[in-house]
Structure 1
């Protein structure tokens, strides 16, 4: 995945080590956030397992089964929703991977694909386990896959940006969490406004991304380190 450090030394050049996709300064903080987010995902899943109606929190925020937006906000919601659809999501991932490869960061490209892919896979597995539905028995709703993907993508890009810019613990964590909050809020709003999900579905999707992305980043870094040691 990364160039062996010994190859550069043997050629008389300084060893070049690919930067970690999970900056060391953020590992402890994001690890704690990931653990807390996982607890939220499980708790909400248990609370709403098998439900087909909005919960008390959902009704307090908005009645998600009604079309709550009109043009021009509806157009904005539809455009945002498209970014979580297969075509829109694929375009975002391809653009990010292309950028990583142009910057000669193959590990980052692997992380973007793996992080978003595992996040979507996690929501796909959780939906039938929880069994919460909206607009009929065939529409599984918890957690929101659109919200999870868009948050995961924003998290991955923000992590890579924080590492490339060399941001410290506070600045890096602020950037990453702000990106997650903005992306999750935007897509969550679109899903609820279009009547596709309950608000707590969006929260579950957001927390799924917060759980998966730091773990995936750690695993990608660890795997890259193991591969490098094996080549040595």
Structure 2
């Protein structure tokens, strides 16, 4: 484990995690493309969707309330509060670059799902565009950025850093993905697409932020 704590100019995608997250991002982008091509233009669940949904069954009133709470985090009001708290934490930690990543990574992930939906054209409930899930992309992206910040603050190394980031992304995607499926807002493959979208976008945004911030002009300003 490293000992260097994050400072204002410290990369948000440090070397120990960059290579592995880059490889994961490439695989995730490929998965989104394959799933989008497979389910493009369809208006119903596939075989995998039916099996997964049947396994989850009826969540019951208490679990449904929990799912609705998770769903709220992906709505504009809930998302704004979550991001605002995260940005405040980054600023308190005196790491403005991380605050930029939080806004940029989450925003770009959600924007990507918004742009992909009409391209893929998969629908649910008689016409609502479904693939990929923006809610799932949002919470996955948020979890990935928080874990990247934590990894940087703790100075985690080549194994622990990527492991923490990927575990956090999996947890965030699982929570929101479960909520979207049991609430019948998305098919399981929609949430898989949203999860992969965030995995593809966040490392790319982090790398771009580091490159821009480390240019000579940016350092002089």
Range into which the TM-score falls when normalised by the shorter chain:
over 0.9
> Residue 38 of structure 2: which of 36, 44, 47 is its match?
47
Q: TM-score, normalised by structure 2?
A: 0.93
Kindly indicate whether residue 101 of structure 2 is the aligned counterpart of residue 114 of structure 1.
Answer: no
Structure 2 unaligned spans of 5+? 1-6
- Give RMSD over aligned pairs: 1.7
Q: TM-score, normalised by structure 1?
A: 0.89
The answer (yes or no) to whether the contact 1:78–1:190 under 8 Å persists in 2 is yes
Could you tell me how far 1:231 is from its partner in structure 2? Answer: 2.2
Could you tell me how far 1:186 is from its partner in structure 2? Answer: 0.6
The 3 A distance-change label for structure 1 pair 17 and 70 is closer
Could you tell me how far 1:67 is from its partner in structure 2? Answer: 8.1
Counterpart position of 1:207: 196
Counterpart position of 2:10: 19
C-alpha distance in 2, partners of 1:18/1:188? Answer: 34
Could you tell me how far 1:56 is from its partner in structure 2? Answer: 1.1
Counterpart position of 2:19: 28
* SS at 2:41 equivalent: coil
C-alpha distance in 2, partners of 1:21/1:193? Answer: 34
The answer (yes or no) to whether the contact 2:8–2:96 under 8 Å persists in 1 is no
Q: How many pairs does the alignment contain?
A: 215
Kindly indicate whether residue 118 of structure 2 is the aligned counterpart of residue 89 of structure 1.
Answer: no
The 3 A distance-change label for structure 1 pair 67 and 17 is closer
Counterpart position of 1:7: none
The 3 A distance-change label for structure 1 pair 119 and 17 is closer
- Cα displacement string for residues 150-186 of structure 1 (whole angstroms, at most 9, x for unaligned residues): 0000000100100110001111111101101111011
C-alpha distance in 2, partners of 1:230/1:73? Answer: 50
Structure 1 unaligned spans of 5+? 1-15
Could you tell me how far 1:208 is from its partner in structure 2? Answer: 0.1
- Cα displacement string for residues 51-86 of structure 1 (whole angstroms, at most 9, x for unaligned residues): 00101111121159x983221100100001111111
